C-alpha cells in the first residue's frame, strides 16, 4: 500500500485501541508516517529502537523496597495517555525482552507499570528478505495475531515528493523519475499469507470497522482485513459486505440469481458456491438430498450468466466431490448428472 494509505489506516487502527505493524524496506518512510500522525494528533512520540535495547532499557531496573524486589519504571515510560509508543525494528529485538514486548502488546503494561489509558502503540519492521539477522519472532502466529499488518511500498510519485521535501540531490530524484523500477525491490514474501482468521482476529477487525465510514470500508476494507485475517478470508469477507452478490445458499436453494454480472462478480459468485460445496457437512448434505432438482435447476441458471470456463471450474469440483463417500458424494453425483444432461 502507499504511504498515504498506510497513514490513514494506522491512525484508524490506533484510534480503535489496536496496533498496526508497518512492514517495509529501510527508508520507505515508516517512521515519517508515525511522526506525521503524532504531529497531527498532538501526541508525544516515544520511539523505541528495540534492536538496540537491553532488557533493563525496556523493562526498567530492579530495586529493593520493603524487602521485596520491584522494577523501576524505565525512563521512556509515558506520563500521560497523549502518547504514541513506536516499537521500531520489532523483529530484531533481543530474545530476552520478547516476553516484555508481548506483555506490553497484550496487557498494555510491563511488570507493575500500566500504560495510561488511551496510549497508542505502533510497531514496524523490515520485510523478511532483508540480509541482516532475522529472528523467529516474525513467523510466530501468536505474535503476528496481535497486529494489523500493513505492508508499505511507496509509489514513485510519493517517494519523489518526499525526496524533494528532504532535499535529496537532484541527480537521484531525476534518476528515479526516469527509472522508477530502481526505487526498491518488491520480491519479499508477504507475511499476510501466514495469517489465518480466528475469534481474536474477527474481534480486532470489528473494533476498527466500527470507526470506518461506508466509503472508507469500500476503499480500505480489503487492505485492513487482509492484515488481520489473511488475504483469502479478507477477500470473501469484503465482497460480502460491499457487493450485492447473494450467498451460495440463497443462490442454489432459493434461486436468488443476479443478472448482468461483471466478470469479477461472476468469479466471486462461483467461488462462493465452490466454498459452500467444499465445506458441506454430511448432515447438511443429508438435509439437501431431496432438493437436488431445485439445486440443479438453479445451477443451470447460473451457467447462463457466468463465462463457460468459470462455470466449468464448478463442474470439475462436483466431479471430484462425487467420489467422496456418504451423502456429500451422493448429492454431488446427482447434481452433476442433472446439469450434464
| pLDDT at residue number 17 | 93
Residues 208, 12 contacting (CB under 8 angstroms): yes
CB under 8 A, 24+ apart: contacts of 27-32: 28/3, 28/152, 28/153, 28/154, 28/159, 28/184, 29/3, 29/152, 29/154, 29/158, 29/159, 29/162, 30/6, 30/124, 30/152, 31/86, 31/88, 31/124, 32/3, 32/162
Residues 320, 335: contact at Cβ < 8 Å?
Answer: no
Contact 36, 44 (CB under 8 A): no
DSSP state of 124: E
CA 88 to chain centroid, in Å, comes to: 19
Which grid cell sits at 339?
Answer: 446439469
Residues in the chain: 341
Which triple of cell numbers denotes residue 137? 519472532
How far apart CA 96 and CA 99 sit, in angstroms, is 7
Q: Look at the alpha carbons of 143, 147, 148, 150 in this order and tell me if their dihedral is positive or negative.
A: negative
- 159, 183 contact by CB (below 8 A): yes
In this structure, are residues 9 and 201 in contact, taking their beta carbons and an 8 Å threshold?
no
Task: For residues 276 and 314, give the distance between their C-alpha atoms in angstroms, rounded to a whole number.
Answer: 11
Quickly count: other Cβ atoms within 10 Å of residue 71's Cβ. Answer: 15
- With H, G, I as helix, E, B as strand and everything else as coil, classify residue 49: strand
- Enter the pTM of the model: 0.70
Distance CA 102, CA 142 (A): 9
Q: Which helix (H) or strand (E) holds 48?
A: strand 44-49
CA neighbor of 201 nearest in space, from 242, 262, 147, 278 = 147
Q: How many C-beta neighbours within 10 Å does residue 88 have?
A: 20
- Beta-carbon contacts of 225 under 8 Å, excluding residues fewer than 6 positions away, are 205, 233, 234, 237, 238
Beta bridge partners of 70: 63
Q: pLDDT means per 10 residues in the chain (341 residues)?
A: 92 96 84 94 94 84 77 86 93 81 88 89 81 53 86 83 86 90 69 84 94 89 93 84 80 85 77 88 90 91 86 90 90 89 60
Neighbour tally for 145: CB within 10 Å: 15
Amino acid at each position: 500500500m502507499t504511504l498515504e494509505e498506510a497513514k490513514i489506516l494506522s491512525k484508524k487502527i490506533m484510534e480503535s485501541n489496536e496496533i498496526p505493524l508497518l512492514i517495509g524496506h529501510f527508508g520507505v518512510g515508516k517512521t515519517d508516517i508515525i511522526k506525521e500522525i503524532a504531529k497531527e494528533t498532538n501526541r508525544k512520540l516515544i520511539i523505541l529502537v528495540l534492536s538496540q535495547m537491553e532488557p533493563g532499557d525496556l523493562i526498567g531496573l530492579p530495586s529493593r523496597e520493603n524487602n521485596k524486589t520491584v522494577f523501576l519504571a524505565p525512563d521512556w515510560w509515558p506520563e500521560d495517555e497523549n502518547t504514541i509508543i513506536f516499537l521500531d525494528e520489532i523483529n530484531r529485538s533481543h530474545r530476552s525482552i520478547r516476553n516484555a514486548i508481548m506483555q506490553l502488546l497484550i496487557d498494555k503494561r510491563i511488570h507493575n507499570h500500566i500504560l495510561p489509558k488511551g496510549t497508542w502503540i505502533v510497531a514496524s519492521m523490515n520485510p523478511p528478505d532483508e540480509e541482516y539477522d532475522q529472528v523467529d519472532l516474525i513467523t510466530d502466529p501468536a505474535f503476528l495475531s496481535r497486529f494489523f499488518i500493513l505492508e508499505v511500498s511507496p509509489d514513485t510519485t510519493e517517494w519523489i515528493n518526499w525526496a524533494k521535501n528532504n532535499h535529496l540531490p537532484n541527480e537521484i530524484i531525476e534518476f528515479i523519475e526516469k527509472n522508477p523500477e530502481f526505487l526498491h525491490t518488491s520480491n519479499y514474501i508477504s507475511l499476510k499469507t501466514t495469517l489465518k482468521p480466528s475469534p481474536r482476529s474477527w474481534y480486532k477487525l470489528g473494533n476498527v470497522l466500527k470507526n470506518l465510514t461506508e466509503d472508507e470500508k469500500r476503499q480500505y476494507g480489503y487492505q485492513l482485513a487482509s492484515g488481520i485475517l489473511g488475504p483469502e478470508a479478507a477477500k470473501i469477507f469484503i465482497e460480502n459486505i460491499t457487493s450485492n452478490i447473494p450467498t451460495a445458499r440463497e443462490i442454489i436453494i432459493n434461486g436468488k440469481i443476479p443478472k448482468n454480472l461483471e466478470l469479477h462478480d461472476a468469479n466471486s459468485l462461483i467461488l462462493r458456491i465452490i466454498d459452500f460445496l467444499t465445506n458441506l457437512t454430511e448432515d447438511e448434505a443429508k438435509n439437501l438430498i431431496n432438493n437436488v432438482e431445485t439445486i440443479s435447476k438453479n445451477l443451470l441458471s447460473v451457467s447462463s450468466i457466468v463465462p463457460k470456463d468459470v462455470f466449468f471450474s464448478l463442474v470439475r469440483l462436483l466431479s471430484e466431490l462425487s467420489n467422496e463417500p456418504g451423502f456429500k458424494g451422493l448429492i454431488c453425483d446427482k447434481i452433476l448428472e442433472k446439469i450434464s444432461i
